[in-house]
Amino acid sequence: MLGFCKYIFVTGGVTSSLGKGIVSASLAKLLQARGYSVTIQKLDPYINIDPGTLNPYEHGEVYVTEDGAETDLDLGHYERFLNVPTSQANNVTTGRIYETVIRKERNGEYGGKTVQVIPHITDEIKRRIKILGESGKYHVVLTEIGGTVGDIESLPYIEAVRQLKYELGDNNSIVVHLTLVPYLASAGELKTKPTQHSVKLLLESGVQPDILVCRTSHKLPQEVRAKIAQFCNLKVSAVIESRDAETIYDVPLLMKKEQLDIVTLEKLNLPFGSEPNLTEWKSFLHKLKNPTEEVKIGLVGKYVELKDAYKSINEALIHAGAYHECKVNIIDIHSEDLNDENIERVLSEVQGILVAPGFGQRGIEGKIKAVQYAREHKIPFLGICLGMQMATIEFARNVLGFKEANSTEFDKKSPYPVIDMMESQKAVTQLGGTMRLGAYPCKILPNTKAFELYHSELISERHRHRYEFNNQFKEEFEKNGIIFSGINPDNQLIEILEYPENPFFVGVQFHPEYKSTVENPHPLFMGFVKAVMEYNHQ
């Protein structure tokens, strides 16, 4: 039990997509590097209970925590920056808040009162924020409020922040407001008016920000800072510049230069002691920026045009690349567009092929072709979740000769259902939160690629799927050279398959990308990138 807990609320103004998640993660990183125990929470003002049922085009990747919550992709940034797992409690949506309040109302817990946004919804928001603080595990809880100040959906959250700030008292909580200071090329000037307006909006809700982080493409001159400070009731030192960065991993250092951590600690009345320890972070950045070679990895997926759809995979490849001092260029390959005419042209360009996770029929034949190309040309291959299932189907069709092999997700009547729905899933009718989710143990077979990479007989990885390898076909695959090197010890589900005929051909039913962090790049991605580099040297 730690002796105290302070709260930081991060709000956003002017426009969405300012990078609140990265600024939050960066501030948390700096506090952690000064010895504080920190966690980050995201409050999302939409009505879905969680983003699990959202199409990636709507909301990017769904991130999965150890305890099986389907969450906003910002939690991935929090874990990658802090190297500490998050949980269900770190992501709360309006849907979740209302669900709780309505259930309590049905149970008669409000004693006949009229149930209202204030106090009942705001009380539930405050309770969800304080749960983390009261756990006794953190010195600082940083809560990022999704959306933009002024949105109808955000109002109850801002009101909850106002109440909490008052209740917690001075120096126990602060509000960091992120805004945009646009550069008008025609006038050759940085404009402060949007920031002024956005702070006015916050003030209308009774919230005075303590720190302003100004996103800008240009340097903020002293007089611009002074102007913002004057209009927003702040000291100039509390106006922080946040310039566009070369990589998101630069942001903690940029924020340190601006002394965001020091201003924060001063306002929270916490000692800042010695310099933050960022040795590992800096060594990662140095390797990231000074690669000694370059490779191309084809990411075969159906949402590749959307930047955020495979966020964790992209970042995991960056971490593994930096580890090997190798720049990994990710070539996005739309699985739907892959066909017999273009496959050679497209895939002969890359030195590694990663087939991505996914749901539904669209683009699966292209994924199967990509696996076949990787297998036949001995190009390093990593298949994740649906990617592993595609590798299974490809092998069944083209090596075992089961031409109609398929997953029952796509063909319920296949005579060779090599991928089938898990028994436990067959009775499930509801969509949200009902897949096999979160961390499960996996036993690793010695003398395999998986063992060579993990150096461990028992690992734990996170899952998000309904279908699995059909163990009825296990022997047939084994007779033809597939090794099932990772198996769930409790129910015998296949978690890893590999094909030792090729230097690197690995399919995993779980999602290793969720566990890769700056300080702990994931062994599978490290192994994959190393194999890609070796292929490149041939």
Residue 514 DSSP label: G
3-state SS of 443-495 is EECCCCHHHHHHCCCEEEEEEEECEEECHHHHHHHHHCCCEEEEECCCCCCEE
* Closest distance to ligand GLN from the beta carbon of 169 (Å): 45
- How many other C-beta atoms can be found within 10 angstroms of the C-beta atom of residue 447? 10
Residue 174 or residue 385: which is nearer to ligand GLN going by CB? 385
* Closest distance to ligand GLN from the beta carbon of 202 (Å): 39
* Closest distance to ligand GLN from the beta carbon of 289 (Å): 32
Residue 30 or residue 75: which is nearer to ligand GLN going by CB? 75
Q: Is 326 among the residues known to form the active site?
A: no
> Which candidate in 232, 326, 385, 442 is catalytic?
385
Distance CA 331, CA 316 (A): 15
Residue 120 or residue 464: which is nearer to ligand GLN going by CB? 464
Angle at 35 between CA 34 and CA 39, to 5 degrees: 100
Segment contacting ligand GLN (CB under 6 A): 131-139, 181-189, 461-469, 490-498?
461-469
Q: Is 5 among the residues known to form the active site?
A: no
Residue 37 or residue 425: which is nearer to ligand GLN going by CB? 425
Residue 362 or residue 403: which is nearer to ligand GLN going by CB? 362
Residue 182 carries which side chain, given as an amino acid letter? P
Segment contacting ligand GLN (CB under 6 A): 85-93, 134-142, 262-270, 465-473?
465-473
* Closest distance to ligand GLN from the beta carbon of 57 (Å): 16
Segment contacting ligand GLN (CB under 6 A): 93-101, 440-448, 458-466, 527-535?
458-466
Distance CA 375, CA 382 (A): 11
Query: In the range 168-207, which residues lie near ligand GLN by CB under 6 A?
Result: none
* Closest distance to ligand GLN from the beta carbon of 419 (Å): 7
When asked if residue 464 is in the footprint of ligand GLN (CB under 6 A), the reply is yes
Residue 142 carries which side chain, given as an amino acid letter? L
What sign has the CA pseudo-torsion 310, 313, 317, 318? positive
Cβ burial of 269 (10 Å; 0-12, 13-18, 19+) is: exposed
Name the residue among 537, 461, 534, 467 with its Cα closest to residue 504: 534
Residue 247 or residue 361: which is nearer to ligand GLN going by CB? 361
Segment contacting ligand GLN (CB under 6 A): 39-47, 244-252, 397-405, 464-472?
464-472
> How many of the chain's residues bind ligand GLN (CB under 6 A)?
10
Angle of helix 122-134 relative to helix 155-168, nearest 10 degrees? 50
* Closest distance to ligand GLN from the beta carbon of 62 (Å): 9
* Closest distance to ligand GLN from the beta carbon of 458 (Å): 23
Q: Is 139 among the residues known to form the active site?
A: no
Measured between its terminal Cα atoms, the distance across the chain in Å is 55
Distance CA 423, CA 414 (A): 17
Residue in this structure with the two tokens 């800072």, named with its chain if needed: 225
Give yes or no for a cis peptide into 156 (omega within 30° of 0).
no
Distance CA 274, CA 288 (A): 27
Beta strands 140-145 and 239-243 are unpaired
> Which candidate in 79, 409, 513, 522 is catalytic?
513
Beta strands 436-444 and 483-487 are antiparallel
Residue 20 or residue 465: which is nearer to ligand GLN going by CB? 465
Q: Which of 70, 72, 394, 409 binds ligand GLN (CB under 6 A)?
A: 409
Query: In the range 348-367, which residues lie near ligand GLN by CB under 6 A?
Result: 357-359
Structure tokens at 472: 């009825």
Residue 31 or residue 385: which is nearer to ligand GLN going by CB? 385
Q: Which of 377, 466, 474, 530 binds ligand GLN (CB under 6 A)?
A: 466
The answer to whether 373 and 496 have CB atoms below 8 angstroms apart is no
* Closest distance to ligand GLN from the beta carbon of 176 (Å): 34
Q: Which helix or strand (DSSP H or E) is residue 343 part of?
A: helix 343-347
The answer to whether 214 and 180 have CB atoms below 8 angstroms apart is yes
Query: In the range 384-403, which residues lie near ligand GLN by CB under 6 A?
Result: 385-386
Angle of helix 20-33 relative to helix 260-267, nearest 10 degrees? 70
Residues in contact with ligand GLN by CB under 6 A are: 357-359, 385-386, 409, 464-467
Q: Which residues are catalytic?
A: 385, 511, 513
